[in-house]
Each structure stands twice: as C-alpha cells, then as structure tokens.
Chain A
C-alpha cells in the first residue's frame, strides 16, 4: 500500500511536470520588459552667464544653425526669446560641431560661431533602446562679435538633461 501511494504521488508529480513543460519555455521567453531610460536624448545644455557667475536672461532672439553633410544649413534651435538656458543637439560621431549663433534684437543682428570638439563614446542600454552616443567635450573656441567667452563647465554629455555643459559669457552692453 505504501509503495502504491508513493507511485501515485510520483505519477502526479510527473503529470504536473509534463503538463507545465511546454509552457515554461514559452513563459520564460515571452515575459520580457522594455527598460529604456525615460530620456534617451543626448544633448548639450548651454547657459548664458554673467561675469559674476549668475544665470543671465538673453533679451534678444536666438537662433542657432549648423551646416549639414550636404552643405545646406539646418536650424538646430529656433527663435528662443528671453532664455537663459537651452539645449542643442550634438552630432553622433563628427569630431567637431560648428554652430552659428544668430542674435536678433530691435536694431541688432549679430552672429557668432562656436566650434565644439569632442570624443564620442558608443552607448548601449538594451536591444530595445535606440543606439546612442555619449560624448566628452574636449575643446571649444568661438568668434567674439557678441560673445566674450565660452567655457566648458561639464565635459561629460550623457542622457542627463539637467546638467549644464557650457557657459556662455556674452559681452554686456551698458
């Protein structure tokens, strides 16, 4: 009797196992979740700063353009008014980005060019998330029509949108 009971239990266990097996592989392969960062944009953040180190609000209208691969201009930031901080895209893997800043006021139209040199780092999060590049800003230079100086304050450009990477010190008119 005892042996029969054990056999029966064994058969029940085997039955459960056999019933569940085809589902196990299916469940383990189908239960996947997509876990991408909330912000997958990698952008540089610029801030207009006074010589005292405070954030400065720009009274003019700012438009930033850059030359595409085919030589035609593309607007990367359009008509920002009364801004102090703004984001600009950064190229995936070009060694240097050339950005032309157009400042438009009532009686003023001035343009300055900023050259941003950088190292590009491939960034992989998951096969479900878009391929991205992180960057390390290595050097920056600019023309001096309206800008006094441009300084890299945080060279590491990632998908953290809150970090200011570059401080722009405009020439202040009295």
Chain B
C-alpha cells in the first residue's frame, strides 16, 4: 500500500515538476537566432584612430549632466573641479576611455560604453520593463521612474555596463542611451561621436557602420585584428569595435554568437506558455486534494491505521 502510494507520488512529482521544468532544457538546442536588424543606430569605435584625449567623456558628462542627474566624479586633490578622472564606468560615468599596455611598444586605447545589443539581456530580465529597446532606433534606454533598483540588469549584462549609484540614498542605474534625450534629439548625433577630433567614433546605422568597418579591414588588413567586435557577439551589438590588439586584452570578453536572453527566455516561456502549465498543475492538485479530503472524512480511523503501518 505504502509502496504504491510512494510510486504514485513520484509519478505525480515527475508530471507536475520535472516534466514542467526539464522539457525546455532538452528541446532548446535547435532554436534559430533571429537575424540582426541593421537599420538600428549604433557607433563604430576604431581604437587605432583614438588618441585618448577623452573629449568624448567630457562631452558625455556635459551633455547628459542634467538628464539622469549625473555628476562629475571629483578627485580629492581637486576642489576647483578641474579634473574628472573616473577609473571605471560608474554611477556618474557613461563612457570611458582607457589605455591598455600590452608591451611597451604595443598598446591601445579602448572606449567602454553600452553595447546596445540586438537582443539585450538587461531588457529581457528587467521585471518592470524599466529597461527598453526602441523598436526603430534600437537604443537600449532606462527609465528611472519605473526602475525598482533590483540590479538584475547588472547580473545579466555580459559587458558589466549598467552601473548603480551605491553612494546615494535615492540611487538609479546609469548607462549610455546614445544621447537619446539630449544630443541625438537636438543634433542627430551622440555627443561623443560629435566631438571626437580624430573620427575614432563613427555614429550611424548599423549597416553603414558594418560596411565601413569591412572596408577598413580590407584596405588595411595589417593594421587591424581581422575581426569586427560586436558583429556576431551575443547575437550582435550596435556598438562595434575595430582594434589592433586582441579584443580580450582590451577587456572585451570572448563571447558566443547566441544571446543569453534567447536561452533563458526559451526556458521561461516553455514553462509558462499561455499560463497553461501552472493552471493545469493547480487544477490537478485541487482534484487530488479534494478527493483525499473526502476520503479522509469517510474513513478517518481506517486511514490512520493503514498509514501508521507504512512508511517508517
């Protein structure tokens, strides 16, 4: 009797739980990744043209200072607010130029800012849709008025781009939005690309940026690593890179072609498709529980006896 009920229970657990959560993991492999939308806006950063003047950083803070309440980071030795030398992207820095020295002769600058992914993880995981991706421009934007500050976007981002204002009582997430509400709106170009004196930052549609990058690679194959970083990484990004040093050395991780959000959403959607599985589970469990209760009321004494005999 008890053997049988245990088997029943395991069968039930198998049906209710395992089938529900295990199936998608197996059925996942052959899901095709949707093609990239090359009409979206982005930037091409060419590290070989960058001279590290940081005009882009300065312009970014000047232009975006009010929107999103960014503030200059200030060194302790600088009460006159002449210097702004952040070490990393932070809750007050959306774009950053760094110098990477491989050997004394081989070095490169690198620019960090939001990659504006084709399939952004941050948008996929935000529980209250505070992170959004514009359908036309492809800009990944953040709305502080809906954000609850859970920082799941930071966990999800493979590039560690979204930054949180740890020092503030009323903090927010900070990341590049291609000057969506500021420079782009007024002048049709992001502030960093506008001020770059060497043309290291090119602003435009992804298809034009890709064409330009391919042209440069073809014309000067010796000058570059033969790879456009962002073309395929995580399903493609709208911020693209060309460089002379290995991208890994520049702090840009080696990544697969599949967006992590494809993987996680596939599993989540298979479990919760049309909310059928949870409702079915609830219905089945209700049926069993009510039947058990009725049985229990009919033969309380008998039940107790037979149960006490088993399972110990």
Partners in one complex: no
